[in-house]
Structure 1
Amino acid sequence: MSQMLALVILVGILYIGDWVAVRTKAWVPSIFVCAVLFLFGYWTFFPKDIVAVSGVPPVVATMMMYLLITNMGTLLSTQELKRQWKTIIIALSGILGIIAILFGVGTFLFGYETIVVAIPPLVGGVVSALIMSEGAKEAGLISLSVFAIVIYVMQGFAGYPITSIMLKKEGKRLLQQYRSQQLTSASPEIAATAEATESGPTLFKNMPAKYNTDFFKFFRLALVAYLAYLVSTLLAPLVTVSPFVLCLLFGVIAKSIGFLEKQVLQRANGFGFALMALMLFIFDGLKQATPAMMLEIIYPLIGCIVLGVIGMYLFSLVAGKLLKTSKEMAFAVSLTALYGFPADYIITDEVIKSLTEDEKEREMLTSHMLPPMLVGGFITVTIVSVILAGIFVGFL
């Protein structure tokens, strides 16, 4: 198979996944569609090295991980998070619930290594799934390497419908209070998706904009990622710290001091390509998945997701009561760990539109429901899952 034919086939699969997700309003996630098509391909006519043949060998995917995770760090704003401190506590409590229930119950049912591999992808996204998949592969746990990818692919099917139900109940409660004048409308504070207004990094504000080229943005991003890698190697004799965790931290620091602008990879017009390369590498992990192996992991897959959701519910319920937040909203915030952005935005927006046609009521619902959902997804998927993956991969 030629390189360009392989690339056309793989990118076509990614597009089909997006198309189905759009048509079904995210009820059928794109990653599930892509995973099914990749499995079909590997079980029929795909060469095992089709991703590498297309031009995305492991070394390229690793480079993209460094850039993407550092870019994630630039999204963090302390001001945005201060406004949603209750949301942060609830989101963290949901993650704690997953860890407690899976270690407390799941270990006896599925084994210690299975639970260690399952938790980071279950509370996160593509990056944590890839970290655990690669860690399991290096430890010689081939079936668990595939398991990390599959649990990432499937967890949304539990999260989407339950979140929609919780948000509809919360929305109806808010509408009832609003219509009886017990609740006033508030200005929407969609802080988590607000675009940065600065034209460039503040440390270089006196530099003419024409010199802040895409390559200069890539250079600064790569430099920060390299510094994170360098520090991880220097710390290696003392303590094992994943360079990816440090990339996240260094991204936050670089944004705070003005060395990097917010979403620098998007501004350098490289985010889409980086994500494409990383997604192809993720699905490349499915080449090890035989039909027999899929049957072998189906039991721990369903069990881990069910136990994880139960843990989320119990711990978020307690946190919600302590913080005087409705149990529906608290549970919905916790569930963002199963999908993150943009699914958290899409689901919330669709629920709001389904509840009322009145623009003022929609504005009220948006201001009360969307910010906590976005912040919850950011905390769980973007930050905590990467940190957990960096820690848990050392347990294998």
Structure 2
Amino acid sequence: MQPIYIVLILITIIALGEVLSLSSRAKIPTLLVVIAVTFTLLQTGIMPESFIEASTFVAAGSVLVPVLIVHLGTMIPLSVIKKQYKAVIITLIGLVLSVGLILSIITLIFGYSTAVAGAGPLTGGIIAYIVTSEGLTAAGFTTLAAIPVVVFALQNLVGMPLTSILLSKYAMSIRDDLSNGEQETRDSTGGGLLGGESQKKLLLPEKFMSSDFFILFLLFIGGAFATWLGNITGINYSLWSLAIGVIGAAIRFYPDRALDRSNSSGLAMVALIIVVVNSLVGITFDQVVSSLIPVVSIIVIGTIGLILGGIIGAKIFKWKPTKAIPVVLTAMYGFPGDYLIVEEVSRSVGRTEEEEKQIMDELVAPMLIGGFTSVTVGSIVIASVLISTI
């Protein structure tokens, strides 16, 4: 079959996942649908395993991984992190406790390599999963290949309902305060969350930075440089990519949300998802079944660690746990789930436009920053460091 037809089949599966996710307001995650449908097609033989590799998108996606991580580094302006430092610190506390519990308890029960296989994906998103999956394959732990993909697929089903329940309770307290005429000083500004530094002058002339191709050129420079640094230092390229993106955005070498500015993020994400899909090749149904007990254990223990981190962070910064814990739980699903949950809670709890706005304004910034801190930054660091220890 020609590659164009294979890619059409794969994108159809991705589109199906998006339709179900949007229809359910992210209660059914896109990647869960993609993984479940593709795995079923592979196991039944309807889709031959050679198809995915023959799509040529696997090679493209692998090349784009360091470029995408550089892009992720440009997504969080440092000015926003400073304004939302409480959300950042609370999220980091949760990540440390979650990983600590997984490494200590899961290692005792199932072994250290199993703990590493689950810790990265649980605390982050698609990049952390790819880093973990690649590391396991390189280290020869092929029998553990099913663990990260199953953790990655199922964690949303735990994190999102918990977040929705807790945020609804917190939103009720906001609504009650407004009803009682209490005026509290709340963290209600995003600080330009989706591009707060975009007004600052870029390092390179604007006429060049208005070119999609030139921005892509700069991103590929960053990705190639990160790969080279990874080869000569032994430190995973993903860490270098992230650092280059953050520093590059801070000195305005890169515009904020660089890949979006080049109008290339959609196709890049498709390629990345196909890389994830390709990791299903060779995984059997028996492996998935045998991995369920360690996966459930990893998700339960990891979630407990995140919740404990939220409780500790709430005590430190005098937040209500019903606000702090959801900020930490964003590690299990990230964007756009965090935004959609806040939007849904504000609409369902708020009785007036004023109440909806107050709820939305207070919650959207810390929730998005929590997700970016964990999924975009923390999980990549965690996955990269842990995978180098096995």
**TM-score > 0.5 by shorter chain:** yes
Which residue pairs with 1:48 in the alignment?
49
Distance 2:197 2:306 in 1: 36
The one-letter code of the counterpart of 2:57 is: V
Shift of 1:197: 7.0
Which residue pairs with 2:388 in the alignment?
394
TM-score w.r.t. length of structure 1: 0.94
Q: The residue matched to 2:25 in structure 1 has which SS?
A: coil
Give deviations 1:8-31, integer Å, cap 9, x for gaps.
110000000000001111111111
The aligned runs of 1:263-278 (5 Å cut-off) are 263-278=257-272
The aligned runs of 1:87-98 (5 Å cut-off) are 87-98=87-98
The answer as to whether partners of 2:309 and 2:328 remain within 8 angstroms in 1 is: no
The one-letter code of the counterpart of 1:112 is: Y
Give deviations 1:89-134, integer Å, cap 9, x for gaps.
1101111121121122221222111001111110000001011001
Which residue pairs with 2:202 in the alignment?
202
Worse-superposed segment, 377-386 or 358-367? 358-367
Which residue pairs with 1:220 in the alignment?
218
The aligned runs of 1:326-341 (5 Å cut-off) are 326-341=320-335
Distance 2:193 2:36 in 1: 31
Distance 2:300 2:388 in 1: 25
Shift of 1:171: 0.4
Shift of 1:250: 0.6
How much identity, in percent, do the aligned residues show? 27
The one-letter code of the counterpart of 1:67 is: V
The aligned runs of 1:281-360 (5 Å cut-off) are 281-360=275-354
Distance 1:83 1:69 in 2: 23
Note the aligned Cα RMSD (angstroms). Answer: 1.8
Which residue pairs with 1:142 in the alignment?
142
The one-letter code of the counterpart of 1:101 is: L
Q: 1:46 to 1:194 in 2, by over 3 A?
A: same
Give deviations 1:272-301, integer Å, cap 9, x for gaps.
111100101101111222111111101011
Worse-superposed segment, 175-184 or 159-168? 175-184
The answer as to whether partners of 1:29 and 1:156 remain within 8 angstroms in 2 is: yes
Worse-superposed segment, 322-331 or 103-112? 103-112
Worse-superposed segment, 220-229 or 190-199? 190-199
Q: The residue matched to 2:116 in structure 1 has which SS?
A: helix
Shift of 1:185: 7.8
The answer as to whether partners of 1:122 and 1:152 remain within 8 angstroms in 2 is: yes
Which residue pairs with 1:104 in the alignment?
104
Distance 1:306 1:126 in 2: 20
Q: 1:35 to 1:258 in 2, by over 3 A?
A: same
The aligned runs of 1:161-200 (5 Å cut-off) are 161-184=161-184, 188-191=188-191, 193-195=193-195, 198=198
The one-letter code of the counterpart of 1:50 is: F
The one-letter code of the counterpart of 2:138 is: E
The one-letter code of the counterpart of 1:137 is: T
Distance 1:200 1:272 in 2: 26
Distance 2:27 2:192 in 1: 23
Shift of 1:254: 1.2
The answer as to whether partners of 1:73 and 1:250 remain within 8 angstroms in 2 is: yes
The one-letter code of the counterpart of 1:249 is: A
Distance 2:192 2:166 in 1: 21
Which residue pairs with 2:246 in the alignment?
252
The one-letter code of the counterpart of 1:60 is: A
Which residue pairs with 2:229 in the alignment?
231
The answer as to whether partners of 1:56 and 1:280 remain within 8 angstroms in 2 is: yes
Distance 2:43 2:332 in 1: 28
Q: 1:371 to 1:196 in 2, by over 3 A?
A: closer
The one-letter code of the counterpart of 2:19 is: W
The answer as to whether partners of 2:91 and 2:309 remain within 8 angstroms in 1 is: no
The answer as to whether partners of 1:187 and 1:364 remain within 8 angstroms in 2 is: no
Shift of 1:146: 2.5
- Which 5+ residue runs of structure 2 have no aligned equivalent? none
Q: 1:56 to 1:165 in 2, by over 3 A?
A: same
Query: Structure 1 residue 376 and structure 2 residue 370: aligned?
Result: yes
Distance 2:200 2:80 in 1: 20
Worse-superposed segment, 315-324 or 118-127? 315-324
Q: The residue matched to 1:302 in structure 2 has which SS?
A: helix
Shift of 1:230: 2.5
Distance 1:23 1:134 in 2: 33
The answer as to whether partners of 2:3 and 2:55 remain within 8 angstroms in 1 is: yes
Worse-superposed segment, 34-43 or 285-294? 285-294
Distance 2:310 2:223 in 1: 35
